[in-house]
Amino acid sequence: MTRQEFHQRCIPYFSADEIQAFWLWFQHLASSEQVEDCMQRLLAGEPIQYIFGTAPFHRYEYRVGPGCLIPRPETEELVEYILQHPQIQALQHWLDIGTGSGCIALTLVQERPWQLLAVDCSEAALTHARNNRARLNTEQQKRLELRCSDFLKWTEWPSGVQALVSNPPYISSDETLDSRVVDWEPSTALFAENDPLIFYKKMAQLCLNRPHELWLFLEINQQLPEATEAVFKTIGCSTKKIADLSGNLRFIEAYWPGF
Ligand SMILES: C[S@@+](CC[C@H](N)C(=O)[O-])C[C@H]1O[C@@H](n2cnc3c(N)ncnc32)[C@H](O)[C@@H]1O
C-alpha cells in the first residue's frame, strides 16, 4: 500500500498526526496480507499498540495486548522523576501497585539494582508482565517478583518495602474518555470503583499502621491534585505535587515519616 492510499483510507477516522504515526508502524509489516489485516483492525478502532503487540516506554519496548493498559508517556515521566530523585537512589526494596504490563517495575529493575515486588489483581495483565519479565536477563528477573493480589484488601505493607510507585485506576465513572480507550482497554485498569481516590486512601490508611518511613511516587487524576494531596497531608506525610510536560499536576510524591 502506498503512503497516499494509506492516508486516504485513514483520513475519515484519524487526525493527520495520528495517520503519520500509524504509517511508521506499518513500515514494519512484510506482506500485503499483514498490511490489510492490520488496517482492518486499525479502522475498527483497535489501539495500534495492541495490533502490533508492543509499546515503547522509556528506553524499552514492552509487550502489550488486550487485558493490560497501554503504557502512557506521562507514566514514563514518573519513572524518569524517580530515576533522577537525589534522596531515594539508595533505597533497595520497591513496590509497584497495579503493575499492568509491568512497564514501571521492568524499567526500574533494568535501570537500578533494586528489588521490586509488582502486584496486580488481574491475571490477564500479569500474563503480559510475565512475558515482559521473561525477556530480561536472569539477574534482573530474580530482582522482580510479580504477584497476583488485590491491593484494596491489604491490611499491611509487605515487610521490608521502603518505597512504592503506583499508577492506580483513578478515573471516576462520570468522566468521559476516548471510545478507543473505553472500548479496548480494561475497565479495571481505568476506573476506580465509586471513588477516584480509593487507592490513595488505602495507601494512607496502611501508612497509619506503619512505624517505618515510606516514600510514595504516584500518578494521580489531573482533575484532583488538591484532593489527592490532602489524603496524604492529613495523615502527616510531607507531599509535593509534580506537573507533567503538559503542565498538568499529574504526580504526587509523598513521604511518610513513620512514628
Ligand atoms: C492504570 S493501570 C496501570 C498499569 C501500569 N502500571 C501502567 O502504568 O501502565 C492500573 C492497574 O491496576 C490494576 N488494579 C486495579 N485494581 C487493583 C487492585 N485492587 N489491586 C491490584 N491491582 C489493581 C489494574 O489491573 C491495572 O493493571
Q: Which domains does the chain have, with CATH numbers?
A: 3-44 (no CATH), 72-256 (3.40.50.150)
CA of 150 to the centre of ligand 1 (A): 10
* Residue 154 to residues 119, 157, 212, 258, 259, Cα–Cα distance (Å): 12, 7, 17, 18, 20
Q: Is 198 in the pocket of ligand 1 (CB under 6 A)?
A: no
Per-residue confidence (pLDDT) for residue 120, from 0 to 100: 98
- The stretches of the chain forming alpha helices (DSSP H) are 3-10, 16-26, 32-43, 48-52, 73-84, 103-111, 123-133, 138-142, 179-184, 187-190, 198-208, 225-233
Confidence of residue 147 (pLDDT cuts 50, 70, 90): very high
CA of 190 to the centre of ligand 1 (A): 8
Per-residue confidence (pLDDT) for residue 51, from 0 to 100: 96
3-state secondary structure of 209: coil
pLDDT digits (tens, 9 = 90+) for 245-254: 999 999 999 9
Percent above pLDDT 90 for the chain? 93
The per-residue pLDDT of the chain, averaged, comes to: 96
Per-residue confidence (pLDDT) for residue 152, from 0 to 100: 97
pLDDT digits (tens, 9 = 90+) for 12-39: 999 999 999 999 999 989 899 999 999 9
Per-residue confidence (pLDDT) for residue 121, from 0 to 100: 98
Pocket test for ligand 1, best of 75, 99, 148 (most atoms within 8 A of CB): 99
Are residues 217 and 257 in contact, defined by beta-carbon separation less than 8 angstroms?
no
Per-residue confidence (pLDDT) for residue 175, from 0 to 100: 87
CA of 172 to the centre of ligand 1 (A): 15
Confidence of residue 108 (pLDDT cuts 50, 70, 90): very high
Residue ID of nearest Cα to ligand 1 atom 8: 167
Residue ID of nearest Cα to ligand 1 atom 11: 98
Per-residue confidence (pLDDT) for residue 179, from 0 to 100: 84
Return the exposure string of 83-116: e unless at least 16 CB atoms fall within 10 Å of the residue's CB, then b: eeeeebeebeebbbbbbbbbbbbbbbbeebebbb
Are residues 170 and 199 in contact, defined by beta-carbon separation less than 8 angstroms?
yes
pLDDT digits (tens, 9 = 90+) for 153-181: 999 999 999 999 999 999 988 888 888 89
Per-residue confidence (pLDDT) for residue 6, from 0 to 100: 92
